[in-house]
Structure 1
Amino acid sequence: MRNNMGSSPKNIVILISGGGSNMAAIAKAAQKQAWQEKLGARVVAVISNKPEAQGLVVAAGLGLATQVVDHKRFESREAFDAALQDVIDGYQPALVVLAGFMRILTPGFVRHYAGRLINIHPSLLPAFTGLNTHQRAIDAGCQVAGATVHQVTAELDHGGILAQAVVPVLPGDTANTLAARVLTQEHLIYPRAIRALLEQAAG
């Protein structure tokens, strides 16, 4: 696996668009497991494309720096991504972590962070790329569903798989009940996958 993290300190920038529950799980794991002391890594900023994102309040409560790059203020995806990239690069990130960041990124942005950009997707990739994953899994009659941590490439939801978690699809499940079951596993595997990448870079 390509890994462009470089030397310490390993700064982690997390991008969010909503409530930030995966971001909080990562930040709390970093604090609880002493990533800075043991791995030279820390979450240095949380950035949202939505000023009203509740995750910004959560991040501030965890003592993290927050910034907003409002996508509505830009005329094109390219212009937004360029502005976002400038803000991210100010933190000299070893990893850029997408945690419920609801924007499709341009190929140039993805190339700029090649080997440093990761995402979590609420399905067992390569199944059910894109949106509405839980309802699609139910409609397809799947007995299991789950989540995947993967590297980000220009092709949506197709990068190298770093970690997966499997949950059962239960009789009577709705998209919401299945999403909640999957989310509990996301909160476990995302910090674990990031720590594994950091340990690999340290080793």
Structure 2
Amino acid sequence: MSARVVVLVSGGGSNLEALIDAARVEGYGARIVAVGADRDCGGLELAAAAGIPTFVTRVGDAADRAEWDRSLTARVAAFNPDLVISAGFLKLVGAEFLAEFGGRFLNTHNTLLPAFPGIHGPRDALEYGVKLTGATLFIVDAGIDTGVIVAQVAVPVADDDTVETLTERIKVAERAQLVDHLGRLCRDGWRIEGRRVVLGAG
């Protein structure tokens, strides 16, 4: 039986598209039951074209961030997900969302955490002069990119890299890692032991 997954997006949805394609394969282990966003975006169009229910919960429609967080939590909870995936979702969730989905909300970051957290990871890595960076899949907590790490993939930094070229190469590795490990989590289960995620231990 496939795990129920809600995906949150804010942009064009390249990670979402990869997940949709993967979920079509028999035995993958995950079924995308809804796609939510904080704005109108290409990811919603991808989901609609695939016949997946969509919803939008805009920050501007709420009185404050706490109300928005409650609304987002309710919209996601309505689909009874086993996992929630942030696939380029550009908003930080709040305490109520984490209370509902803590330990079940995954995000990706475009560096090897804990190095270079925040929204300019590839730029910061390039400016620092590292020779190796990559992508991190982690379980979201209340901090900024501080959650327990599920998986990491390394991407070498070339001497002639720009922020744009490095970012694009990281995206390719990030996408493959997300697809692979979401399937593994859903098929095999997992448990959290301190700062470690143990796969195959559901």
TM value normalised by structure 1? 0.89
What CA distance in whole angstroms lies between the structure 2 residues aligned with 1:187 and 1:34?
19
Contact 2:72 2:97 in 1 (8 A): no
Q: Aligned-pair distance for 1:9?
A: 5.6
Q: Which residue of 2 aligns with 1:26?
A: 19
- Secondary structure in 2 matching 1:67: strand
1:82–1:124 Cα change, 3 Å: same
Equivalent residue for 1:194? Answer: 182
**Identical-pair percentage:** 35
TM-score, L = length of structure 2: 0.89
Aligned CA RMSD, in angstroms, stands at 1.5
Distance 2:78 2:99 in 1: 17
Structure 1 residue 30: Cα displacement: 1.2
The answer to whether 1:43 aligns with 2:36 is no
Identify which range, 15-24 or 26-35, moves more after superposition: 26-35
Q: How far does the alpha carbon of each residue in 1:95-124 deviate from its partner, in whole angstroms, 9 at most, with x for none?
A: 010000001111231122111111001110
State the partner residue of 1:55.
43
Residues 1-203 of structure 1: pairs in structure 2 closer than 5 A: 10-35=3-28, 39=29, 41-51=30-40, 53-201=41-189
What secondary structure does 2:82 align onto? strand
Cα 1:168–1:33 shift into 2, 3 Å: farther
Distance 1:184 1:61 in 2: 23
Distance in 2, matches of 1:149 and 1:64, equals 24
Contact 2:73 2:96 in 1 (8 A): no
- Give the letter aligned to residue 196 of structure 1: R
Q: CA deviation at 1:64?
A: 1.5
Q: Distance in 2 between matches of 1:44 and 1:186?
A: 22
Higher-RCO chain (CA-CA 8 Å, sequence separation at least 6): 1
Instruction: Verify the 8 A CA contact 2:2 2:186 in the aligned structure 1.
Output: no
Count of aligned pairs: 191
- Of 69-78 and 188-197, deviating more is 69-78
- Tell me how far apart the structure 2 counterparts of residues 101 and 179 of structure 1 sit (CA, whole Å): 17
Gaps of 5+ in 1: 1-7
- 1:20 is aligned with what amino acid? G
